[in-house]
Structure 1
Amino acid sequence: MYKRILFLMIAFLILIFAGITGPVAFAETIQDHADVSKTVLYIKKAVTAANKQDLDKVNQSFQSFKKEWVDIKNEVREGSLPVYSKIQSQIAAVSLDLVNGNANKTLGSLQALQNTLLDYQNGKLKKDGSSAEKVTIRSYIRQLNETADSIESNNLAKAAGQVKSLRANWLEIEGDIVSKSQQVYTNSERNLVLLEGYVGKGKTDQALGTVNELKTDLEPFINSSYGIWDAALIPIREGLEALLVIGALLAFTNKRKETKGARWVWGGISLGVLVSIAIGFTVSFLLNASSFGENNFIINGATGIFASIMLLYVSYWLHRHSNVQRWNSYIRKKTEKTFSSGKMFSFALIAFLAVLREGMETVIFLIGMANRMPISNLILGIVIGFGILSVIGIFMLKVGKKLPLKPFFLVSSLIVFYMCIKFMGSGIHSLQLAGYIPSTINEMIPTISFLGIYPSWSSTLPQLMIIILAVFVIAARQLKIRRAI
């Protein structure tokens, strides 16, 4: 096990060295632009129609835009694939909003698309799709002030486009924030979802309050510097949740003395690390955090929801076998002392998803810090962070071995169930940040970040359904036991 841990730490160190030297491939701005003037004209007409809530005219102008786009999109793609992908994604967002008949969201999506096309036309985009002007916490707060001005003047169409830009630009500064305050990072991501919902519903007072809260949270970090402990905290914070899941799986395989099952879990862990490293290389050499970020939200959301469903089953299975007689009966039936292929694969898949979900953010945050502090401090911080994480993992396995059977299964099932609830809530929240799930708001729902609870029924209802299902299963099992007595 110690050799495996050492391997994983070395792999991450290699990644950071790549991150320091890598982000140069698309640093230059685009020199030869395709002529997008006609497409901009059609989008401006669509924006004007959307301001008048005339979706028929919006659709007509948008269809004319798409015909014009077909003629020039290959030229845009040859100049910069990330820019082309960004525009295509925004076109898809407009199309989806039109299909749903949502005039306000269509207006915001059109505004964002118009801004991108204008930036491209005016040479304000780099080849990696990011703005030629580097986004800093200071410039981000300036964008928040501009958004507040639009909201105060009741220009919600412009504000909607600015909110989309805020969400995209957040991906370039989130690493700066998470290394200083996990609470501010969590609050800011929540407030970005709330802000989009408030602007979309025309709740100007709440929208302004949310903008002001974002500014208040971010202003103390304008002149922040970074040290060893900042680098150490990133792998600790991001890795702890994955460690809870992995620790429960490995403790179970150790309890059963099932080496083959443990190898499957370690295989899932290793694959998750390798995929995270591959993503790190992609971000370093080909893209940047902003251009990759939308996909990061989607991957986080999808893996979170899928992992939550699988963890629900694992939690039920662990709870079901907390009865000593049932466990002994299970062991007698499994005389070959191996898991079924399906069970081993599911354990490996859960480990992979847990590592991938946290590993992607870890590598992006660390790469973001690579040019902001001395390399020796960064490497030392990473070693300390993963060292502490390893000690915690070893401690969890040692404790798991010594726990009596019934407490072990109960504790393991509770840990896995907790992660199930959190992964479901944070997964849906990530899809809201990506714009794939509406940013529905209910201010009566509290924000409890360590449980993945956010003020939205979209994320809270599935969590409540999981809890109700768990209560029903436990109650049914207790009733069955009483009848058997």
Structure 2
Amino acid sequence: MMKFIYLLFFLLLGLQDANAQVRVSHLFVMISDAMENAKNAKTEESVPILENFKTDFYAIASHNSTAGAEVSRILEIAIKNPNLKILESLSSALLTFEKEQNPIDYAAKTKQFEKRVLPIFSQLQKATIEKNIKDLPMLYKRFYDTWQRNERIVGDISPGHYAQIETALTLYRLAMISEVVDFKVMNLQIQNIGTALREFISGNVLQAQSIEGAPQTLSEGLTLLRKAFREFLQNQDLARDYILTFITQWPIFEGEVSTRDSGLYRRIESELPEIVARGATQENLAHFENLLQSLEKLDINAQFSAFDAAIILLREGIEALLIVMALLTALQAANQSKGRAWVIGGAMLGVLLSLIMALALMWVFPLAAAGTNREILEGIVGIIAVIMMVFIGAWLHSKSSARSWKAYISNQMGKALARGSLLGLGGLAFLAVFREGAETILFYAGMMPSMTMDSFLSGFGFACLALIVIAYLMKVFVQNLPVHLIFLVMSWLIYILGFKILGVSVHALQLTNIIPLDILPLPSVAFLGFYNNLQGLLAQAIYVVITLGIMIGQRRSNAKSSVTKA
């Protein structure tokens, strides 16, 4: 039964194109199981798995294609000796076969890349030639942000051009932020970027070039950065060369960092050029040391545990649970069973569309699904949810005094909620679940290759149990409260969660460069959704003003109503 559940879950995650003619997700599951056996010195248990793999693979009509023949060749070796290395080769061959059978329209994607990237590049190139120092930082940021959102197609098709552009961008920025702006270097690098872009768009393919003695792995790159750190005081030019070599090789192993710590990935890309430019000052060396320590703490070989699987669901699910439970509790107190059905239906629809959205992201953006597009989705949906939370919170708060509650009961006796109210309640439940659901599925999709079946199931099961316990405790806590106090507690819960979700949503859109980011000299408190930037704090300040305005307005209305009745 456990095996079936895992297989079903992985099949849903691995399905990237509902219309694909060839689906091999279940074959990847088999390889994963065989790899798990190899890691635990149980290679003999892998043979039956690989025999089943062979049966299923040969059932595919196109299994004898060029890529399919390579899968068959490696499979025969794996059946005889199912060690980890050969199983990794089998996985790579199967991935090649899948790409062969389900090709991506790279021509259309290249055309889209050209349309998005070249216009802003032309502006940056013009400003560089004209030495327009006033507009250059802004134009560079716009081009760099545009490049980051569209770079993966270049890396997929032409790794050599990708590496050239990444290196030239770094050197360009280094020349731009130096104490004396080096326009000669900037012009050279802008030419290099333009050449690489034009060659890529014209259809030329360039494989990544290996520099003799240069790092080929993250571990080797870290060793080189350590050498640069030691050389900074004695030979700053040599240290600079070491760092620039690391930057040149960075595209080869950047994925090992970006898939595990996106924040550290962004730090490396933005801070290394600044470290080179600032030189051997005490403050700069301390900054460099901190970056190195962060890299050293990154365990690229670590397996995800049951604890990691549980934390993902708890972290992403608890906010959605609290919102849904707040709505259900208030509706139960109001004896509005129809409203409860709408909330439950909205939450279930959120789960379903979360799965569909996660699959769509993995299909349309296979390499960026866990990054930029996930952040954009979370940010936009979160802001929409906050807008709805303001109105729902106002509705709850309007019933939070004993007098207003009695008036509500007398008016609603025997009546159902209006359809608009039902849509609002169901819509908020949907957005609360949908906002977190797609992100949770994408997190699990990224973790699956580095997590055993038992770890996933035990962690996921524990998290589900914990959420049930939280929901039960919440129900027990409020059931003995007077009904109008239930509405007061639930309205405050909705407002507080709205404050946090708004901060997190704005921050997510800032990370993807949708919203500008102006840092303020304040501490960030992430678990409260409080980030030290002007845009987020301004949005939250407006939210607080609106919320307080609603509360004050309702209090005055209640007071006026009391005077009138008196």
Q: Same fold (TM over 0.5)?
A: yes
Displacement of 1:395 in angstroms is 2.6
For the structure 1 residues 380 and 266, does the alpha-carbon distance in structure 2 shift closer, same or farther, using more than 3 Å as the test? same
1:383 aligns with 2:487: no
SS at match of 1:121: coil
Tell which deviates more after alignment, 314-323 or 349-358: 314-323
Instruction: State how far apart, in whole Å, the 2-side matches of 1:166 and 1:227 are.
Output: 24
Match of 2:354 in 1: 276
Match of 2:531 in 1: 454
Match of 1:122 in 2: 206
For the structure 1 residues 457 and 286, does the alpha-carbon distance in structure 2 shift closer, same or farther, using more than 3 Å as the test? closer
Match of 1:179 in 2: none
Q: Quick check: 1:231–1:378 contact (8 Å CA) kept in 2?
A: yes
Match of 2:490 in 1: 412
For the structure 1 residues 138 and 269, does the alpha-carbon distance in structure 2 shift closer, same or farther, using more than 3 Å as the test? farther
SS at match of 1:370: helix
Instruction: State how far apart, in whole Å, the 2-side matches of 1:377 and 1:458 are.
Output: 40
Match of 2:381 in 1: 303
Displacement of 1:282 in angstroms is 3.5
Instruction: List per-residue Cα deviations over 1:184-228 (Å, max 9, x = no partner).
Output: x8xx389859959x97xx999999877765554453231433222
SS at match of 2:338: helix
Match of 2:297 in 1: 220
Q: What amino acid is the match of 2:446? A: G
Q: Between Structure 1 and Structure 2, whose CA radius of gyration is higher?
A: 2
Q: What amino acid is the match of 2:538? A: L
Match of 2:547 in 1: 470
1:428 aligns with 2:422: no
Tell which deviates more after alignment, 165-174 or 239-248: 165-174
Q: How do 1:163-202 residues align onto structure 2 when only pairs under 5 Å count?
A: 172-174=259-261, 188=263
Match of 1:19 in 2: 13
Tell which deviates more after alignment, 459-468 or 39-48: 39-48
Instruction: State how far apart, in whole Å, the 2-side matches of 1:387 and 1:449 are.
Output: 26
Q: Quick check: 2:228–2:240 contact (8 Å CA) kept in 1?
A: no
Match of 1:244 in 2: 322
Displacement of 1:275 in angstroms is 1.4
Instruction: State how far apart, in whole Å, the 2-side matches of 1:368 and 1:238 are.
Output: 15
Q: Quick check: 2:217–2:253 contact (8 Å CA) kept in 1?
A: no
Instruction: State how far apart, in whole Å, the 1-side matches of 2:12 and 2:460 are.
Output: 14
Q: What amino acid is the match of 1:470? A: T
Q: What amino acid is the match of 2:336? A: E
For the structure 1 residues 137 and 164, does the alpha-carbon distance in structure 2 shift closer, same or farther, using more than 3 Å as the test? closer
Q: Which has the higher contact order (CA 8 A, sep 6+)?
A: 1
For the structure 1 residues 137 and 49, does the alpha-carbon distance in structure 2 shift closer, same or farther, using more than 3 Å as the test? same
Q: Quick check: 2:397–2:488 contact (8 Å CA) kept in 1?
A: yes
Percent sequence identity is 26
For the structure 1 residues 162 and 53, does the alpha-carbon distance in structure 2 shift closer, same or farther, using more than 3 Å as the test? farther
Q: What amino acid is the match of 1:266? A: I
For the structure 1 residues 231 and 142, does the alpha-carbon distance in structure 2 shift closer, same or farther, using more than 3 Å as the test? farther
Instruction: State how far apart, in whole Å, the 2-side matches of 1:417 and 1:141 are.
Output: 46
Q: How do 1:57-456 residues align onto structure 2 when only pairs under 5 Å count?
A: 117=197, 121-123=205-207, 172-174=259-261, 188=263, 213=290, 215-222=292-299, 223-283=301-361, 287-288=365-366, 290-291=368-369, 293-443=371-521, 445-456=522-533
Tell which deviates more after alignment, 411-420 or 39-48: 39-48
Displacement of 1:46 in angstroms is 6.7
Uncovered stretches (5+) of structure 2, i.e. residues with no partner: 15-23, 29-93, 140-151, 162-175, 178-185, 209-215, 233-238
SS at match of 1:400: helix
Instruction: List per-residue Cα deviations over 1:322-354 (Å, max 9, x = no partner).
Output: 111111211222234321111111111111111
- The two structures have a TM-score, normalised by structure 1, of 0.66
Instruction: List per-residue Cα deviations over 1:361-390 (Å, max 9, x = no partner).
Output: 211111112111221221222122112112
Q: Quick check: 1:246–1:351 contact (8 Å CA) kept in 2?
A: yes
Match of 1:70 in 2: none
For the structure 1 residues 447 and 339, does the alpha-carbon distance in structure 2 shift closer, same or farther, using more than 3 Å as the test? same
For the structure 1 residues 244 and 42, does the alpha-carbon distance in structure 2 shift closer, same or farther, using more than 3 Å as the test? closer
Displacement of 1:273 in angstroms is 0.7
For the structure 1 residues 160 and 414, does the alpha-carbon distance in structure 2 shift closer, same or farther, using more than 3 Å as the test? farther
Q: What amino acid is the match of 1:468? A: V
Tell which deviates more after alignment, 288-297 or 403-412: 288-297
Q: What amino acid is the match of 1:256? A: A
Q: Quick check: 2:349–2:430 contact (8 Å CA) kept in 1?
A: yes
Q: Quick check: 1:250–1:397 contact (8 Å CA) kept in 2?
A: no
Q: What amino acid is the match of 1:173? A: R
Q: What amino acid is the match of 1:381? A: G
Q: What amino acid is the match of 2:463? A: G
Q: Quick check: 1:18–1:284 contact (8 Å CA) kept in 2?
A: no
Displacement of 1:314 in angstroms is 1.9
SS at match of 2:343: helix
Q: Quick check: 1:303–1:353 contact (8 Å CA) kept in 2?
A: yes
For the structure 1 residues 14 and 411, does the alpha-carbon distance in structure 2 shift closer, same or farther, using more than 3 Å as the test? farther
Instruction: State how far apart, in whole Å, the 1-side matches of 2:391 and 2:454 are.
Output: 44
Displacement of 1:470 in angstroms is 3.0
Displacement of 1:420 in angstroms is 0.9
Q: What amino acid is the match of 2:439? A: E
- The two structures have a TM-score, normalised by structure 2, of 0.58
Displacement of 1:429 in angstroms is 0.8
Displacement of 1:14 in angstroms is 3.5
For the structure 1 residues 408 and 238, does the alpha-carbon distance in structure 2 shift closer, same or farther, using more than 3 Å as the test? same
Aligned-pair Cα RMSD in Å: 5.6
Instruction: List per-residue Cα deviations over 1:5-50 (Å, max 9, x = no partner).
Output: xxxxx9998333433664876775999987x9xx899998876544
SS at match of 1:290: coil
Q: Quick check: 1:228–1:380 contact (8 Å CA) kept in 2?
A: yes
- Report how many aligned residue pairs link the two structures: 414
Q: Quick check: 1:140–1:169 contact (8 Å CA) kept in 2?
A: no
Q: Quick check: 1:422–1:453 contact (8 Å CA) kept in 2?
A: yes
Q: Quick check: 2:520–2:532 contact (8 Å CA) kept in 1?
A: yes
Instruction: List per-residue Cα deviations over 1:257-299 (Å, max 9, x = no partner).
Output: 2221111111111111111111333455664352563222211
Displacement of 1:393 in angstroms is 1.8
